[in-house]
Amino acid sequence: MNDFYPLLHELIQSHLTANAIDDGLAGGIAQNIIDGLADGYGGQTVYLKNNSAERMARKHRQIVAEYDGKNTMAICQKYRITSIWLKRLVARAGNEPAS
């Protein structure tokens, strides 16, 4: 757990830098976030759930958003899913009835 703060700092900084924020500024922002977390939660046990359901829902929304009714093969290859699964996702989203 001693590696948590450096890991968090690197993660925040890399995301900010990837979004066109200067590396030095990104490092400062990352440190401010970490300091705020340490001030607010320092000494406490904090549980971070894995968030897999939200990640999967986000992926499903992305798939449905990219689907245009004619690109079934491309979507299935890109996301490594079957056409049946794609049809179910689209139907759940209410964009088209399941067959």
The type of residue at 63 is I
Q: Does any domain span residue 99?
A: no
State whether 31 and 63 are in the same domain: no
**Domain housing 62:** 52-92
Given a cut of 80, whether residue 99 has pLDDT beyond it is: no
pLDDT tens-digit map of 24-76: 999 999 999 999 999 998 888 888 888 899 999 999 999 999 999 999 999 99
Number of domains comprising the chain = 2
Q: Does any domain span residue 47?
A: no
Q: What is the pLDDT of residue 96?
A: 59
